[in-house]
Amino acid sequence: MRILLAVDGSPCSDAAVQEVANRTWPEGSEAKAISVVEPIVPVIGEAWAFTDTNYLVEADKIASDLARSTLDRAAQTLEQAQGSRLKISREVMRGFPKEVVLDEADRWQADLIVVGSHGYRGLTRFMLGSVSQAIASHARCSVEIVRCRDAHKSDKDQDQS
């Protein structure tokens, strides 16, 4: 079994990591954890606004470092839980998460994609889109979407205030 685990460092992706870590996988299974660094698009539309490219380079470096750190944490969790029963690899990738996860699942011939769901609703979901929904709708393999209970709890707390 080949499991593609997409992580972004959020509590919801941590829940997805824990779900993979807690399972008993068939002998010879592999897990590949990926984290996607999105392209930095300046909000300001004027060509002269970002003459200092060091800002964009530094922002990209920070995002890449965060992605590597996220993958290190995920791999450590999987290794502690699975030991040598699960071959684990990891990779920082670049692009838009919906596209990168689907493309990598096809390229790597994944049997299962595991992602966390932020559980956004309404306008927030419309504005941000749902990575997990897009993956579930377009993947050529099975997809498991892990719900994040803590995220829903904080949403309810915000609704009551």
pLDDT tens sequence across 97-142: 999 999 999 999 999 999 998 755 544 444 445 888 889 999 999 9
Given a cut of 50, the residues of the chain with pLDDT beneath it are: 122-128, 152, 154-161
**pLDDT, position 79:** 96
What's this model's pTM, rounded to 2 decimal places? 0.84
Measured CA distances, 122 to 99, 132, 145 (Å): 23, 15, 19
**pLDDT, position 47:** 58
**pLDDT, position 120:** 53
CA distance 110 to 133: 18
59 Cα distance to chain centroid: 19
**Domain boundary assignment for the chain:** 2-160
C-alpha triplet 81, 35, 82: angle, nearest 5°: 10
Strands in 2-6's sheet, in edge-to-edge order, are 87-94, 30-37, 2-6, 112-117, 142-147
Which option is the CATH number for 2-160: 3.40.50.620, 3.20.20.10, 3.40.50.150, 3.40.50.2300? 3.40.50.620
